[in-house]
Amino acid sequence: MSWPAETIARANDIIARYPERRSAVMPLLYMAMREEGRLTDEGMRLVAGLTGLTPAQVQSVASFYVMYKTESQGKYLVSVCSSISCFLLGADEVLHAVEEAAGLPAGEADDEIGIEHAECIGACGGAPACLVNYELVEGVTAAKAKEMIEWLRNAKPEVINADELQTLFGGRRSFDWAIKEDNGAIGPYPAFPPFGTAAHNTPALEPGRLATRNSRPATPEVGAS
Ligand code: FES
């Protein structure tokens, strides 16, 4: 298995944003998921080669964080929070409605939709809350959750946007003054454009610093097609 040349170029572009190659491991793991629809051993080996980490180190990162999936999640991953605030305000009913509408139990996925329990997603003030491709919707009822699944099945949106989810299917929010979101998650899961945390918030590293600190030998032959 190898990645297309443009994917390798994109990976190297992301690596160049960081002082150390290994710091790019997390966005590269998302790229590995996107290439194959899930995280495979081969994908993790490619990430290891590109970052200079060992496969075991890459696997230890991937297995620590719940967003790295070794099984396909369909195009839309619906994460229903089941922690205490959401539980007390009806998360069980929301989850059952999602499972019934999708025709799937939590923990499973078909080609379009995956369902999972999530631990607190940081929206307790708007409980019960869900995520679709990690875009938030708060104040969800069982009836609205069912509508949301039917909308995903029928409309097949290319972009999942938290503001749109909230308008269509949400209720009470944690904060009325939340900053408007313009972009949303584009494309099938995993969908976090742009990959890499440094895309918008970090000025480009000056070339001298990059050359000095990001000087571990590259392994461009790994995964090159
Ligand atoms: S308990 Fe559900 S968002 Fe915190």
In this predicted model, what pLDDT tens digit does every residue of 47-79 receive, in sequence order?
999 999 999 999 999 999 998 999 999 989 999
| Residue 143, token pair as written in the block | 């009836």
For ligand 1, say whether the CB of 81 is within 6 Å of any of its atoms. yes
pLDDT tens column, 125-136:
999 999 998 889
Cα of 120 vs centre of ligand 1, distance in Å, is 4
CATH 3.40.30.10 in the chain is located at 76-186
83, 138, 174, best to mutate for ligand 1 pocket (most atoms within 8 Å of CB): 83
The second-level CATH assignment, the architecture, of 76-186 is 3-Layer(aba) Sandwich (3.40)
pLDDT value at 191 more than 70: no
| Residue 26, token pair as written in the block | 């997390």
CATH 3.40.50.2000 describes domain 5-70: no
Distance CA 128, CA 36 (A): 32
Phi/psi class of residue 139: alpha, beta or left (left: φ > 0; alpha: ψ in -120 to 50)?
left
pLDDT average, residue stretch 121-145: 95
79, 80, 81, 172, best to mutate for ligand 1 pocket (most atoms within 8 Å of CB): 81
Residue pair 148/100 in contact by the 8 Å Cβ criterion:
no
**pLDDT of res. 58:** 98
**pLDDT of res. 199:** 39
User: Of 33, 38, 46, whose CA–CA distance to 2 is shortest?
Assistant: 46
Higher pLDDT among residues 9 and 213, named by residue: 9
For the CA of 91, the closest atom of ligand 1 is: 2
For ligand 1, say whether the CB of 123 is within 6 Å of any of its atoms. yes
User: Of 153, 204, 167, 162, whose CA–CA distance to 186 is shortest?
Assistant: 162
Tell me the pLDDT of the chain averaged across its residues: 84
pLDDT tens column, 152-163:
999 998 888 888
Cα of 39 vs centre of ligand 1, distance in Å, is 27
**pLDDT of res. 182:** 67
**pLDDT of res. 190:** 60
For ligand 1, say whether the CB of 85 is within 6 Å of any of its atoms. yes
CATH 1.10.10.1590 in the chain is located at 5-70
pLDDT tens column, 71-109:
999 989 999 999 999 999 999 999 999 999 999 999 999
pTM above 0.75, yes or no: yes
Partners of 136 in beta bridges: 131
pLDDT value at 196 more than 70: no
